[in-house]
């Protein structure tokens, strides 16, 4: 007997987008099963026998792809851009559809994962998993360490408690460059935290995300190994 799965998972398994994005598409009435518009997120589908379409495109199960990019500045972390700016997909020369796991700002560099595995993306992005991220930050002026320690204790950011897990200077004599570890994934989180206490981030680089590090030249990418995927799943599932 064929196994049926929820429609949002089916769309994700086909590598079209994440489950969360799939729910947006369903809500916009852009998804059909056997030519009938999907009305409910809980709708079940059999990918071997049913025809699932998004905006008229028939979805099929695809080989799962995992890529680590050391993102350069000057690229947006989306699959397309309304301002016609270059996207991270312009750096990756493959035919299969993939999408970024989260985002780095246009001018932010460093570790960015891309995949067509929605479950893997959700595993890394879900707040309950508290995935560590380490950034190297350059500030616009020398910082008072006692003031910066507020960010470890926690501050109010957008009416919500927010904190860094750890903040430390790059060197003992340096008061403008810092390492920051956090588990938050909110947009512009690191920049907004420093801005809240009177500092502006003028350079931001993500050195690591989960087990992945910036171990390749800036602007290049590599495929994530099966062992790395298994390790991430063993840590957070």
Q: Are residues 190 and 175 in the same domain?
A: yes
Q: How far apart are CA 117 and CA 219, in angstroms?
A: 23
Q: Are residues 180 and 144 in the same domain?
A: yes
Please give the biggest Cα pair distance in the chain: 67
Q: Name the active-site residue from 46, 55, 81, 105.
A: 105
Under 8 Å between Cβ of 34 and 50: yes
pLDDT at 1 over 60: no
Supply the range of the domain harboring residue 74: 66-127+211-236
Helix residue spans in 158-202 (DSSP H): 189-196
Q: Are residues 93 and 186 in the same domain?
A: no
Q: Are residues 73 and 51 in the same domain?
A: no
**Domain final position from 40, 58, 76:** 58
- Looking at residue 237, what is its pLDDT? 84
**Domain final position from 39, 58, 77:** 58
Q: Are residues 107 and 140 in the same domain?
A: no
Predicted TM-score of the model (pTM): 0.82
Q: What is the DSSP letter of 75?
A: -
- Looking at residue 233, what is its pLDDT? 95
Q: What is the DSSP letter of 11?
A: H
pLDDT at 169 over 80: yes
Q: Are residues 215 and 205 in the same domain?
A: no
Q: Residue 47 belongs to a domain with what CATH number?
A: 3.10.290.10
Highest mean pLDDT pick, 7-21, 114-128, 187-201: 187-201
Q: Are residues 147 and 197 in the same domain?
A: yes
Q: Are residues 142 and 158 in the same domain?
A: yes
Neighbour count for residue 171 (Cβ, 10 Å):
8
Q: Are residues 139 and 115 in the same domain?
A: no
Neighbour count for residue 151 (Cβ, 10 Å):
24
pLDDT at 228 over 60: yes
Under 8 Å between Cβ of 193 and 133: no
Highest mean pLDDT pick, 2-11, 51-60, 205-214: 205-214
| pLDDT bucket at 141, cuts 50 / 70 / 90 | very high
Q: Are residues 33 and 144 in the same domain?
A: no
| pLDDT bucket at 209, cuts 50 / 70 / 90 | very high
**Catalytic (active site) residue 105:** yes
pLDDT at 131 over 90: yes
Region 106-125: mean pLDDT is 94
pLDDT in tens, 17-59: 888 889 999 999 999 999 999 999 899 999 889 999 999 999 9
Q: Are residues 205 and 141 in the same domain?
A: yes
Count how many domains the chain has. Answer: 3
Q: Are residues 141 and 123 in the same domain?
A: no
């Amino acid at each position: 007997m064929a196994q049926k799965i929820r429609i949002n998972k089916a769309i994700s398994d086909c590598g079209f987008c994440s489950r969360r994005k799939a729910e947006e598409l369903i809500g916009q009435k852009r998804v059909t099963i056997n030519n009938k518009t999907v009305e409910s997120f809980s709708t079940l589908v059999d990918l071997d026998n049913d025809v699932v379409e998004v905006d008229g495109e028939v979805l099929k199960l695809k080989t799962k792809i995992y890529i680590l990019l050391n993102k350069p500045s000057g690229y947006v972390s989306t699959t397309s851009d309304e301002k016609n700016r270059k996207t991270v997909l312009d750096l990756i020369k493959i035919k299969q559809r993939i999408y970024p796991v989260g985002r780095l700002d246009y001018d932010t560099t460093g570790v960015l994962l891309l995949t067509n595995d929605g479950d893997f993306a959700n595993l890394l992005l879900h707040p309950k998993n508290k995935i560590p991220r380490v950034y190297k930050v350059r500030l616009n002026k020398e910082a008072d360490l006692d003031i910066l320690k507020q960010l470890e204790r926690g501050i109010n950011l957008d009416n919500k408690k927010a904190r860094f897990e750890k903040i430390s200077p790059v060197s003992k004599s340096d008061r403008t460059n810092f390492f920051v570890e956090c588990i938050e994934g909110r947009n512009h989180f690191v920049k907004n935290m420093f801005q809240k206490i009177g500092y502006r981030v003028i350079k931001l680089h993500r050195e690591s995300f989960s087990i992945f590090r910036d171990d390749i030249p800036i602007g290049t990418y590599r495929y994530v190994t099966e062992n790395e995927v298994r390790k991430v799943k063993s840590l957070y599932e």
